[in-house]
């Protein structure tokens, strides 16, 4: 039951933060007549880094509480990031004829999120090694 509550709390915090980023930053226009969804891109990149970091740290730390790992990874990172919104925004760009923006958004999302996950894993591994098990 503690794991479910942990995911619930982490997910709520992550979802509210994502909503706040969306209303605070909205969309930024980069090209004529198109708006790239930078709010979604930024939360997905940030969440990818955090998930990699948490994963690496939790793997190295033998005493890392499972409920905390779930709260931060499945809950917070899951609530913060959004594949469905990314998909809908990419689809809208392509549907509206913004092929360069749409394909650029798709490529940027996949590449940056993968790179940031790797950087997060590296940072978590280094921090975990520095502080030991």
The pLDDT tens digits of the residues spanning 68-125 come to: 999 999 999 999 999 999 999 999 999 999 999 999 999 999 999 999 999 999 999 9
pLDDT, residue 68, reads 94
Supply the range of the domain harboring residue 113.
Answer: 2-131
Nearest to 29 by CA among 38, 16, 17, 20: 38
22 confidence band (pLDDT: 50, 70, 90): confident
The token duo for 42 is 């930024």
Measured distance CA(59)–CA(69) in Å, rounded: 10
* Residue whose token pair is 């998909």: 87
Distance set, CA 1 to CA 4, 10, 19, 75 (Å): 5, 14, 27, 14
Residue 41, pLDDT > 80, answer yes
Residue 133, pLDDT > 60, answer no
29 confidence band (pLDDT: 50, 70, 90): low
Question: Considering the chain, what is the average pLDDT of its residues?
Answer: 90
Q: How many domains does the chain have?
A: 1
């Amino acid at each position: 039951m503690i794991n479910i509550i942990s995911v619930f709390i982490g997910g709520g915090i992550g979802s509210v933060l994502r909503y706040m980023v969306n209303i605070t930053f909205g969309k930024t226009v980069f090209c004529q007549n198109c708006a790239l969804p930078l709010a979604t891109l930024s939360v997905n990149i940030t969440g990818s880094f955090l998930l990699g970091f948490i994963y690496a740290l939790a793997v190295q730390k033998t005493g890392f509480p499972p409920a905390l790992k779930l709260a931060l990874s499945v809950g917070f990172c899951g609530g913060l990031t959004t594949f469905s919104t990314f998909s809908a925004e990419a689809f809208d760009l392509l549907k509206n004829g913004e092929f360069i923006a749409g394909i650029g958004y798709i490529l940027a999302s996949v590449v940056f999120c993968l790179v940031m996950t790797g950087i997060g894993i590296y940072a978590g591994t280094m921090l975990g090694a520095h502080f030991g098990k």
